[in-house]
Amino acid sequence: MRTESFTPIRYRVLNRIPGAVPGLTLLILLAPLQYGSIPIDTDLIPTGSWTYRVTIDGNHVGEFTSDIRRTDGQIVSTGDLTGSFIQRGSVTVLEESLQPVRSSTFLYKPGEGSTTARLRYSSSGDSLTVKGNVTWGGLARPPAPVDIDRTIPSDALFDNQSLDILLASLHLEEGSAWRVNIFEPTSWDRTIPVTIDIRGATRITTPAGQFDVWRVEVRGFSDRIEYFFDRETRVLIAQYVHGQELRLELVSEPEPGRD
């Protein structure tokens, strides 16, 4: 079993669709927040491919496919949303610690243009250097690319796109709560403080059937987000973005494999 504790600082969600997925807000939690470290167990992270129905205000807007693989001591997570808007992303992290190695994001929404972000992380001592760029197109601003070159403590850094695998790696217990910081390149090179709150076990129904799940609430971005993970397999069953009323719901029976 691979288990490690460290202080976090980053994250992913449906990943910054212009006015769609990644966002959150702060809430006073009843349980005490754990600021020091987050115990992770990367053996809990499922591998495989899954497809989700995406709706906004109850209207079907597309499909999202997610793929998680292990290779050469790394975990690679990719996502592809097609429909009324397009979002493609990929993140590679070290399998032992979930420390980011590289990530890329492409977002396109008709009438709003596109955004592309590419990042690479390099470790040196107790710090990580983040280099890359963000490019806006169409009607988006700013018109010129933004270059990123920052150094951040290595024990406190998660890439925006790796939040789902971070959540899957946690030993989920009702009442547990943590605070992490997320590096979000498409939000002006920001580090965003995020809270993770385990709200307990419940049962939900998606087009793939009924599932016993853990409900995990994430706050800190512009909208509150709920994740629902299968209690046995840790497969993501659904994701709700409140405020935008955006939902991802599993459409096929999950069959994860563990490398």
pLDDT at 29: 29
Q: Are 51 and 45 in contact (CB under 8 A)?
A: no
Number of structural domains found in the chain:
1
- Tens-binned pLDDT, residue by residue, of the chain (259 aa): 333 322 222 233 333 333 333 332 222 223 334 434 678 899 999 999 999 999 999 999 999 999 999 999 999 999 999 888 899 999 999 999 898 999 999 988 887 788 899 999 998 888 888 999 988 776 556 667 888 898 887 665 688 889 999 999 998 888 888 888 788 776 666 678 889 999 999 999 999 999 999 999 999 877 889 999 999 999 999 999 988 789 999 998 655 444 5
Question: Residue 206 domain-assigned?
Answer: yes
175 contacts: CB under 8 Å, gap ≥ 6: 30, 31, 198, 200
Rounded to the nearest 10°, the torsion over CA 199, 249, 160, 16 is: -120
pLDDT at 4: 33
pLDDT at 93: 95
Query: For residues 207 and 196, what is the distance between their CA atoms, to the nearest angstrom?
Result: 27
Question: Residue 235 domain-assigned?
Answer: yes
Question: Residue 110 domain-assigned?
Answer: yes
Question: Residue 257 domain-assigned?
Answer: no
Question: Residue 77 domain-assigned?
Answer: yes
Using the Cα atoms of residue 9, residue 230, residue 77 and residue 94 in order, give the sign of their dihedral: positive
* Cα-to-chain-centroid distance, residue 221: 12
Question: Residue 259 domain-assigned?
Answer: no
Question: Residue 136 domain-assigned?
Answer: yes
Using the Cα atoms of residue 163, residue 164, residue 165 and residue 170 in order, give the sign of their dihedral: positive
Query: For residues 34 and 177, what is the distance between their CA atoms, to the nearest angstrom?
Result: 6
Question: Residue 256 domain-assigned?
Answer: no
Give residue 218's domain range: 3-250
Beta strands 3-6 and 48-56, pairing class: unpaired
Which pTM does this prediction carry?
0.81
